[in-house]
Amino acid sequence: MADLFKIAIRNLLRYRRRTLLTASLITIGVVFVLIFISVSGSFKAMMIGQITDSMIGHLQVHHKGYVASIENLPLNMNLPPGAMKKVETALRSLKEVESASPRIKFGAMFSNFTETTNIRLNGVYPEREFKTVPLLPSRITEGKAAIEKGEILIPILLAWGMGVKVGDAVVIVATNKDGSVNGKQFKVAGLMESATGPGGRDGYVHIEDAVELLRMTEMEISEIAIRLKDFDKLVPVTDRLDALLAGEVDKAGKPIFEVHNWEKLSPFYNIARMIDLMTFFIKLMLIAIVLISIMNVMIMAVYERIREIGTIAAIGTPPRKILSMFLIEGLCLGVLGAISGGVLGVILLWGINMAKIAFDFGLQKGIILSASLVPADLWTVSAIVILVSVIASLQPALRASRMEPIDALRHV
């Protein structure tokens, strides 16, 4: 086998310029794919991080049917204390769960005493909320990253529009699930950027204020946001939690809970999927580049060496060894392209990271692009290139191995 590699490598060196051109083409393809995968992957990871760590959490538990009506923030679909206890028991049994934050979500009127607008409010336990969505404090641009009872965090655009500043008094008026209206005065503790850009109208109050405002006799939770220790375990943990809660049914025998991870709760999941789809098509382009360039060069190699093939076949070289010779030649070209592309790709990615390219996401300004190459991606791209190189060599190699020596020796 080593001798077949020796012959293959020498044949590649025999046509140095052609080998260099083909390997360069593959190298460029590999470099572009690696850079695209790394940059888009990093952007995707950052985007998911922003969505999950500053707003949604990794997964959420709701009353069955709540998510379908989530835009209405239906108070009559909140979870009673008994149900909440069941969820907390289930969460305690999952060691992958880092924290969980119960929320009371409701729509309300926001008044600065002269103007009124609408707002979506989240009643939370501040410590648990900040632990579950750790980027939330970083969204607070003015004021303090904390919520005491009687305080409110409001979206900065709403504050600007209403002329409200930190420390001002505002009134929140809300309707409870029975239809009665109640109002309560709050002090603006901080102004916060929206995680998703203009239009975000989510504010935060202490959960006990929400209970009081909504005149709840006992705390009824709209959702429980959950953060995992390891985001990569999202799917299995979601499945396990779903299984744990699936047995909980109401008096009518219908399931009480529904468990969703961020993918089902955020429209940004579609962007993440589009990035994956684009990556797939970029990989397809790489396959096409490798396939065409290797097949072209191997067809040329066979055509140019027909008499040589005739000679080795006449001497008695078994067809399988002739096949192997050409397959190994294609393999070596692929390995050369994959290695040089990998090395160059890593160097270029290092350069991109050194350049500290900044971009904006939503209202988050100046996020530094941190393109990181996952080893699995490097191995996958290399394996694709090498495998496709061998496949591309197969047809020319089969042609060489099936050549009749007498015809090949006659070739001029």
Partner 1 sequence: MKLISADRIGKDYQVGEVAVHALKDISFEIEPASFVSFVGPSGSGKTTLLNLIGCLDKPTEGVLTVADTDVSALNRRASAAFRGKNIGFIFQDFNLIPVLTVYENIEYPLLMVQSLPAAERKARVERFLEGVEMTGQKDKYPDQISGGQKQRVAIARALATNPRLVLADEPTANLDSATAYTVINLMKKLRDELETTFIFSTHDPKIVGEAEIIYTLTDGALQGRDVKKEGSHG
20 binds partner 1 (CB under 8 A): no
Instruction: Compute the least distance from the CB of residue 331 to partner 1, in Å.
Output: 17
409 binds partner 1 (CB under 8 A): yes
d(CA 7, CA 74): 74
Between 164 and 408, whose beta carbon lies closer to partner 1? Answer: 408
Which region among 4-12, 50-58, 187-195, 360-368 touches partner 1 (by CB under 8 A)?
4-12
Instruction: Compute the least distance from the CB of residue 10 to partner 1, in Å.
Output: 4
11 binds partner 1 (CB under 8 A): yes
Instruction: Compute the least distance from the CB of residue 3 to partner 1, in Å.
Output: 6
Which region among 8-16, 193-201, 216-224, 288-296 touches partner 1 (by CB under 8 A)?
8-16
318 binds partner 1 (CB under 8 A): yes
218 binds partner 1 (CB under 8 A): no
Smallest CA-to-CA distance from 371 within 31, 36, 27, 32 is with: 36
Where b means 16+ CB within 10 Å and e means fewer, 370-387 reads ebebeeebbeebbebbbe
308 binds partner 1 (CB under 8 A): yes
Instruction: Compute the least distance from the CB of residue 352 to partner 1, in Å.
Output: 41
What single-letter amino acid sits at 175?
Answer: T
Between 203 and 310, whose beta carbon lies closer to partner 1? Answer: 310
Q: Pick the binder of partner 1 from 185, 343, 406, 411 (CB under 8 A).
A: 406
d(CA 257, CA 316): 74
Between 317 and 370, whose beta carbon lies closer to partner 1? Answer: 317
311 binds partner 1 (CB under 8 A): yes
Q: Pick the binder of partner 1 from 243, 277, 288, 314 (CB under 8 A).
A: 314
Mention every residue, 6+ apart, whose C-beta is less than 8 A from residue 372: 38, 41, 42, 349, 353
316 binds partner 1 (CB under 8 A): yes
Mark residues 70-109: x for contact with partner 1 by CB under 8 A, - for none.
Answer: ----------------------------------------
Instruction: Compute the least distance from the CB of residue 380 to partner 1, in Å.
Output: 33
Q: Per the structure block, which two tokens stand in for 412?
A: 């001029």
Q: Which residues lie near partner 1 (CB under 8 A)?
A: 3, 7, 10-11, 13-14, 307-308, 311-319, 321, 404-406, 409
